[in-house]
Chain A
Amino acid sequence: MARSTGKDAQALFHSLRSAYAATPTTLKIIDLYVGFAVFTALIQVVYMAIVGSFPFNSFLSGVLSCVGTAVLAVCLRIQVNKDNKEFKDLPPERAFADFVLCNLVLHLVIMNFLG
């Protein structure tokens, strides 16, 4: 039983990899950006766990900048994906413009709250 589950896991992993390789490059770039943002947020949480939350506003500002921009990137990916029937009529330029505007507002707020 263990060997068959091990083989099943390997087969699953391989199929995921091949399916992912088929996604367009644009979406892969967005995924990379989201991964970078989440990784930065994780580093900050580990740092706060070690040092303590003294300038709590700075901690919140840093983490929220990462999380916020990751969320906006995910929304961009959903809207730009051609396979998504819900957003078939939405021009990708419009989606990108929304992404840029929201990020500008987000970073303005972050700089104010950074202290």
Chain B
Amino acid sequence: MAKLLLYLTLATSLIPLFSVAFSPENPTDRRVLVLVDDFAIKSSHSLYFGSLTSRGFQLEFKLADDPNIGLQRYGQYLYDALVLFCPSVERFGGSIDVASIVDFVDSGHDLIVAADSNASDLIREVATECGVDFDEDPAAMVIDHINYAVSNFDGDHTLIASDDFIKADVILGSKKIEAPVLFQGIGHSLNPANSLVLKVLSASSSAYSANPKSKLSNPPSLTGSAISLVSVVQARNNARILITGSLSMFSNRHEKSGNEQFLTEISKWVFHERGHLKAVNVRHHKVGESDEPAIYRINDDLEYSVEIYEWSGTSWEPYVSDDVQVQFYMMSPYVLKTLSTDQKGHYSAEFKVPDVYGVFQFKVEYQRLGYTSLSLSKQIPVRPYRHNEYERFLPAAYPYYGSAFSMMAGFFIFTIVHLYSK
């Protein structure tokens, strides 16, 4: 009995240790599983991995077909993020497959997928699940005869330079990336109907995707800036995915290019070190009071307030913006007001309850490029006037009041006259 108690206390005391890694209070990922084709990548891409470990990530390197790998055990995920640097893997080992990777992302975890010119069908399938279509020709690479990088190999212009970045400071950092990014690999295209995928780095308009070793027999299907070199996806559950067609972009080869700054900044975004919002402390009350009523009356003046914070990588900073809006919603927004901020993360707005009764919701729907989406809603009923809350003694009705009283007086006088006249 005592032994059982001992084991129980031991087990429960270890639980907090497991929850330090990734929680709503600390949204940056901590434990990252990196799947590679062979361990030479550890040294050839050491600068990139070094930048990750210097920011506090715990990287675990495993071969992609290692039979012991698994993303979760007994229903709990072992890692917060997954990095697939294994473009030529045919079959994952252990318990990982495309479905388990999709479940991993669906549960809110982040993913980086890097394909290359020898990308297997499995990696292409993973990318398609995320909303990105690599060029179907397995031997095709992105070629650009105008914006290619001059290098020792000087051959087929497959090492291209591009600086067509997405304009989002949240994703790429506020410092401008001066040097172009060098890329050598396959390109992908995005479905224009997909609203969750963003092109972070697109090829220039002179690029096309074709096999560099053979002559072009028919025009290439992917051309120009429709080719995306690096894309990100922010899913509706705020999981972030980075997909790119060049593993060599991450390698140590390219100094003096914008690769290092570009990849550092975009990794910060993918691993939730930037652009992660949380909204807390939703409050509403009648103007002049401070406690939250359970029901409002039509034509009441009320005030709604919320606090929004942004994760800076180490702490929650106030989020300052002037376009957060609140809706007073019942099947359609009756009131839509922009919240004003006090620059310290506190947003508030005052408005009058509309002249309609029913069950309303305070809704804040905030979706901005690169930021997590906020979707808050709080239900509140609104009642009509009570019978003694209507206006009385209206000046417009004084003639009617006067006539009613004069009729009563007239009736009284008439009865006296009628009774006492002969």
Q: Which residues of A contact B (CB under 8 A)?
A: 25-26, 29-30, 33, 36-37, 40-41, 43-44, 47, 51, 54-55, 58-59, 61-63, 65-66, 69, 73, 96, 100, 103, 107, 110-111, 114-115
Residues on A with C-beta less than 8 A from B399 are 43-44, 47, 62
Name the residue on B nearest A28 (C-beta): B421
Within 8 Å by CB of A62, from B403, B411, B417, B422, lies B403
Assembly CA distance A33 to B411 (angstroms): 8
B residues near A51, Cβ cutoff 8 Å: 396
Answer whether residue B407 sits at the interface, using C-beta atoms and an 8 A cutoff: yes
Q: 9 tightest A-B contacts by CB?
A: A62-B400, A58-B397, A58-B400, A55-B397, A62-B403, A65-B407, A33-B414, A65-B404, A40-B403
Q: Which one of A29, A47, A55 lies within 8 Å of B394 (CB-CB)?
A: A55
Also in contact, A114 and B410, with CB within 8 A (given A25-B421, A96-B418): no
Q: Which residues of A contact B214 (CB under 8 A)?
A: none
Given contacts A59-B400, A62-B399, 6 further A-B pairs with CB under 8 A are A29-B418, A40-B403, A41-B403, A43-B403, A58-B401, A96-B419
In the docked arrangement, what's the CA distance between A100 and B412, Å?
9
Docked complex Cα distance between A28 and B401 (Å): 28
Is B174 interfacial (CB 8 A cutoff)?
A: no
Residue B390 at the A interface, CB < 8 A? yes
| Cβ contact within 8 Å between B415 and A100 | yes
Q: Are B407 and A66 in contact (CB under 8 A)?
A: yes
Cα A67 to Cα B159 with chains together (Å): 98
9 A-B pairs whose Cβ atoms sit less than 8 Å apart in the complex: A36-B410, A40-B403, A58-B397, A58-B400, A61-B400, A63-B400, A63-B403, A69-B411, A115-B397
Inter-chain contact A62/B394, CB cutoff 8 Å: no
Tell me whether A115 and B392 are in contact (CB under 8 A). Answer: yes
Within 8 A of A (CB), among B358-409: 390, 392, 394, 396-397, 399-401, 403-404, 406-408
A115 to chain B, nearest CB (A): 7
A55→B398 CA distance, assembly (Å): 10
Contacts of A33 in B (CB 8 A): 410, 414
- Complex contact A114–B400 (CB within 8 A): yes
Q: Chain A contacts of B414 at CB under 8 A?
A: 29-30, 33, 73
Interface size class on chain B is 20 to 34
Q: Residue of A at shortest CB range from B419?
A: A96
Q: How far is the CB of A106 from chain B (nearest CB, A)?
A: 9
Among B394, B401, B403, B408, the one with the most A-chain Cβ atoms within 10 Å of its Cβ is B403
Residue contact A107 to B411, C-beta cutoff 8 Å: yes
Chain B residues proximal to chain A, CB less than 8 Å: 390, 392, 394, 396-397, 399-401, 403-404, 406-408, 410-411, 414-415, 417-419, 421-422
CA distance A23 to B229 in the complex (A): 110
For residue B415, give the distance in angstroms from its CB to the closest CB of chain A: 6
Q: Which residue of B lies closest to A103 (CB)?
A: B411
Residues in chain A near residue B406, CB distance under 8 A: 40
- Within the complex, the shortest CB–CB distance from B237 to chain A, in Å, comes to 54
Residues from chain B with Cβ under 8 Å of A100 in the complex = 415
A40 surroundings in chain B (CB, below 8 A): 403, 406-407
Which residues from B are CB-within-8-Å of A47?
399
Interchain CB contact under 8 A, B403 and A115: no
| Bound: A69/B414 CA distance, A | 11
- In the bound complex, residues from chain A placing their C-beta under 8 Å from that of B390 are 115
Complex contacts, B397 vs chain A, CB 8 Å? 54-55, 58-59, 115
Query: Bound complex: CA of A100 vs CA of B404, how far in Å?
Result: 16
CB of A30 within 8 A of CB of B404, answer: no
Q: When chains A and B are docked, how far (Å) is the Cα of A48 from the Cα of B401?
A: 13
* Shortest Cβ gap from A7 to chain B (Å): 38
Supposing A44-B399, A51-B396 touch, asked if A114 and B404 sit within 8 A by C-beta, the answer is yes
A57 CB to nearest B CB, Å: 9
> Contact at B421–A55, with CB atoms within 8 Å?
no
**A82 CA / B410 CA spacing, docked (Å):** 25
Residues of B within 8 A of A66 (CB): 403, 407
Looking across the interface, which residue of chain A has its beta carbon closest to that of B400? A62
